[in-house]
Amino acid sequence: MARIVTTCPTTGESVPTGYRSADIDLEQSSGAWSFRCSVCQQVHAWTASEARTEATERFAA
């Protein structure tokens, strides 16, 4: 199952949100979530519109 990732606003790196595509449907959800970033250890907020799944990212690369 694909992990949902977003971009760390501090480092610009892709970081996992801790959610998976089975947990949240990004195309149907309009909420915001927060998570502790595994790169910079700060808490970031992310929304469905700025997140993506790793599978999508791989295809786009």
What are the residues binding Zn ion (CB under 5 A)?
8, 10, 37, 39-40
Task: Compare residues 28 and 41 and give the one whose CB is closer to Zn ion.
Answer: 41
Beta-bridge partner residues of 24? none
Task: Compare residues 1 and 36 and give the one whose CB is closer to Zn ion.
Answer: 36
Give min distance, CB of 52 to Zn ion, in A. 16
Task: Compare residues 5 and 48 and give the one whose CB is closer to Zn ion.
Answer: 5
Dmax of the chain from CA atoms?
Answer: 29
User: From CA 15, how far away is CA 7, in angstroms rounded?
Assistant: 6
